Structure formats: structure tokens, C-alpha cells
Amino acid sequence: MTQKKKDALPEARIAKGFRDIETAELAGLAQMLQTIRGVYERYGFEALETPALEYTDALGKFLPDQDRPNAGVFSFQDEDEQWMSLRYDLTAPLARYVAQNFDRLPKPYRRYAYGPVYRNEKPGPGRFRQFMQFDADTVGTDSVAADAEICMLAADTLEALGIKRGDYVIKVNNRKVLDGLMESVGLSGDENAARRLIVLRAIDKFDKFGEEGVSLLLGKGRKDESGDYTAGAGLDAAQIGKILSLFNVGYANSGTSTVAHLRKLFADTEISRQGLDELDGIASLFDAAGYGNDRIRIDTSVVRGLEYYTGPVFEAELTFEVKGDDGQTVRFGSVGGGGRYDDLVSRFTGQKVPATGFSIGVSRLQAALAHIGAKPKAALGPVVVLVMDKAEIASYQKMVKQLRDAGIRTEMYLGTSGMNAQMKYANKRNCPCVVIQGSNERDAKTVTLKDLIVGAQAAASIKDNKEWKEARAGQVTVAEADLVAEVRKIVELHSGQAS
């Protein structure tokens, strides 16, 4: 008789393009978010949280690197057979929220938001399908002062996070200048909309592919290392040369001087002149507020991949280089960007509602901070009360309650292993100390506290096992009545010093 085959067990695996985030990184992330939030609130922005899911038609068709509406989002139909999608950024949900609540919101409306966004795109090294963004947006004004302020906010945020002046630059351009350039090379009109989008995406990849790669994308197309082919815009050599001139512009000592120089190169269409006038107004505000070219710079190479930008566009770029784990030079480049999107809310309202905003790529910036020595310290774990005698578990639980009531993060060991395994557990939890009470301590109404951090530091300098046992580094016996006070001393000693 054939034995019935057991059901196959599911394979423990994570979805492609996603990742798990563990305690130490989450602790660093929390610190980073708190710093960003502090700067944004200092500028007067207020928090808003929108759902991760939106009706698909509310998201529009503005994804980067996609020619088909909604091709790059995760979508499904709900019980009413309506299509829903995970948000691909935080701006499209904001546009829906503003349109839905327009009459009751103050104008301008200033909000910040952070959270995960989702892209159904091909994953790769450092490129995930879920990642976190932190946005600030001003909705309801077309003043260039709003655009200038967003750039100042970006600069101040990077410095608050520990990026030194000179190690970053906020680059500013205007899509109207690019639109004028398109017009001058014969790509105006609705019939050329698809080719214009290909050109913009190609320009946006200059930092990644260089002049040669962008030239291929502007011309016949480009094949990458994996063999995947990207169709080009089909431009001729003269058209390609004029577009590549965006990357060969010199920069003056101030933003307004740079714009004056750009007028000699790109002011041959009305739309370009409008864009240059806006850049001039923005640059004058940078100059007046003391944000020099070392912090914020007018730069015609900035495009931004999203299709919905209508005016000034910004990009936060890290300029320093570091050595990666493999010894290769790493340059992080862009860690955030944004721009003006005056038509996004009007998709819902039918009337123009100007808006501008900036988004930080939190995960990428966090990786950059780690490379410059701003690695998050491992979070200090809880105090652990060891269970030396299972018959006395109620006594151990009472100690835990005392410590928790005093505001000290504490847990009782809940496993069934002996002391050695319990100590290993406490070390893995990065505990500041353990509380030990065996029969001898109980009879004497005392407890033994073992400072695991001091003990580990001492262990590094003591090689002889006998000497180690005799030293009893970081270990002290105290009266039961002094438990809370003595544990608090150890915790406070190590708060902020975990490594």
C-alpha cells in the first residue's frame, strides 16, 4: 500500500524586491524620522497620513519609466469590482485629499507625510519595490517663494541629519526651460508627446549612464548589461547635441548670475523665457537668504522622471564619495527631489490648484549616513530578570513589575533553558544588565545585578579564564529594597552608549 504523501511545506522566502528591516536599523530610522520631522515642523508644515491604497484612477498615469497607465503599480479589484492600487508615491494621494477637502483646508495648505510607497518595477541592487519617502508640500500658491522655501527646507534637513556643507547640493531647474528646448529641436505638439517623455527620461539618467548612454537613449536606443533593450527617441545628431548642451553649462558665483548666463543659451522660446524668469525669482530668494551655490545651485541637468511636474524641479544630491564593502568607490548621488505640479489636483476639481513639494528617499539617505559614520547605534535592550528557580517564578514576576512601574524597560526570561542559555539570550537582546536571584540571594534578601556592557568590555582585556571568574566584572549584589535604584543607575549609564 502506497503511503499517503505529506502536504509539502511552504518555503520560507521573502517576496522579490522586498526586504525585512531589523531592530538596529529601525532604531536608526526612528531617530532619522524624528530629525526630519523636527525641521519640517519648524518650517510650519503639519502632518497628514493617507492610506496605502487608493482607487487606481485616482493615482493617474504619472509613474516614472512607464509608458502605459498604471503599469508600474500593484493593483487588484475589490468586492465591488473597482480597481485599487498601492500608492507609488505620497503626492498623488495628497492631490486626492486636497480635492476631496478643498473648501475646508487653509490655502496655502502645508503638509508633511512619510511612509512606504510601492513600485511594481524590476528590482535590482539597492532598488526595492517597497521603500520609504518623507515629503513636504505646499498646495494653493503659485508664488516662486514656495519653491524657494522647499529647496531651503531640503538643505536644512540634510544638514540637520549630519551631512556637512559641501557634501551635498540642492540642484534646481525648470521644466519650462526643458519644454522650450524641446520646441527648439522640433519636438513640440501632442504628436511628439511620447518622444518628449523618452527624452526627459533619458536626460534624467545622465548621472547613471553618462553622455554616451544618454546619447544612445536619445538616438536609436540602448541595451543594458542584462541584454534588456530600451527604445530611443530617434533624434538626429544635431538634436542630440543641442539637448546634451544642458550638461555643459558653466555656473557663476550666484544663482542670479547663473540665470543671466542661461538666458544667452536657452531663451529662444517664450516658454523657456518664462522658466528662466521663474528661476531668476527663486535664485534671488536664495541669494537674499544666504543660501549660496555651495548649498543650492541652478542646474539645467535636473529633469525629474515623474511626468506631472510643470515648473521648477529640484534634486538633492550627495557629492561625497566613500569606499563600499567591496573596496569600490560609491557615490550616492540623488537622495531626494521634487518640483512644482500645478495640474495634479485639477484632475479632480477641473480648476488649477498650484502646488510644489519635495520628497526624501529615506532608505537611500539612511544608507548614505551609515557610510559617513552616522551609523545608528544598536538600541539598548530591556533589563532581563533571569529565572533561576522555576518554583519562584512569582517572585521574579514581582521584580519585573517593580522595574516596569518605575519606567524601566524589563522582561522576565520566558524560555525553559538554564542560566548559560539565559545569559546568551540577554546578550543577543543587547541588555544593559540582568537580575539574578538564586536561593542564597533570596535567603539574604538580595539580588545580583550583572552589567553586561561593562562585563563585555572587561572580557576584551582579560585573557585568563580564572582571572575572569575572579574579577566578576560588572557584577554587584544589592539589597532587594535597592533593586530599582541600582538598576536605574546601570540603565542610565548606558543609555545612548550602546554599540
Do 158 and 74 belong together in one domain?
yes
Domain range holding 485? 383-494
For 351-402, strand residue ranges (E) read: 355-361, 383-385
Beta bridge partners of 117: 131
Give the pLDDT confidence of 3-13 residue by residue, as tens digits: 555 678 999 99
Does residue 365 contact residue 336 with C-beta atoms inside 8 Å? yes
Do 258 and 313 belong together in one domain?
yes
Do 82 and 185 belong together in one domain?
yes
Residue 233 domain-assigned? no
Give the pLDDT confidence of 139-148 residue by residue, as tens digits: 999 999 999 9
- Cα separation, 260 vs 264, whole angstroms: 7
Do 268 and 391 belong together in one domain?
no
Does residue 210 contact residue 217 with C-beta atoms inside 8 Å? no
Do 367 and 394 belong together in one domain?
no
Residue 158 domain-assigned? yes
Give the pLDDT confidence of 246-275 residue by residue, as tens digits: 887 766 678 888 899 888 888 889 999 999
CA atoms within 13 A on the CB side of 438: 4
Q: Around Cβ 190, how many Cβ atoms within 10 Å?
A: 7
Taken in order 481, 487, 488, 490, is the CA torsion positive or negative?
positive
Place 380 in a pLDDT band, splitting at 50, 70 and 90. confident
Do 180 and 286 belong together in one domain?
yes
Domain boundary among 347, 371, 395: 371
Residue 69, domain CATH = 3.30.930.10
Do 122 and 269 belong together in one domain?
yes
Average pLDDT along the chain: 87
Residue 234 domain-assigned? no
Q: How far is CA 218 from CA 68, 399, 490, in A?
A: 20, 70, 63
Residue 17 domain-assigned? no
Which range, of 146-160, 229-243, 458-472, averages the lowest pLDDT?
A: 458-472
pLDDT computed for residue 68 by the predictor: 45
Do 178 and 320 belong together in one domain?
yes
Residue 481, domain CATH = 3.40.50.800
Pairing of strands 109-118, 329-340: unpaired
Domain boundary among 345, 371, 397: 371
Do 355 and 394 belong together in one domain?
no
Domain count, the chain: 2
Do 91 and 132 belong together in one domain?
yes
Helix (H) or strand (E) holding 412: strand 410-412
Do 357 and 472 belong together in one domain?
no
Residue 449 domain-assigned? yes
Q: Around Cβ 288, how many Cβ atoms within 10 Å?
A: 10
pTM for the predicted model, two decimal places? 0.78
Give the pLDDT confidence of 13-62 residue by residue, as tens digits: 999 999 998 887 888 899 899 999 999 999 999 999 999 999 998 987 65
Domain boundary among 371, 399, 427: 371
Do 271 and 393 belong together in one domain?
no
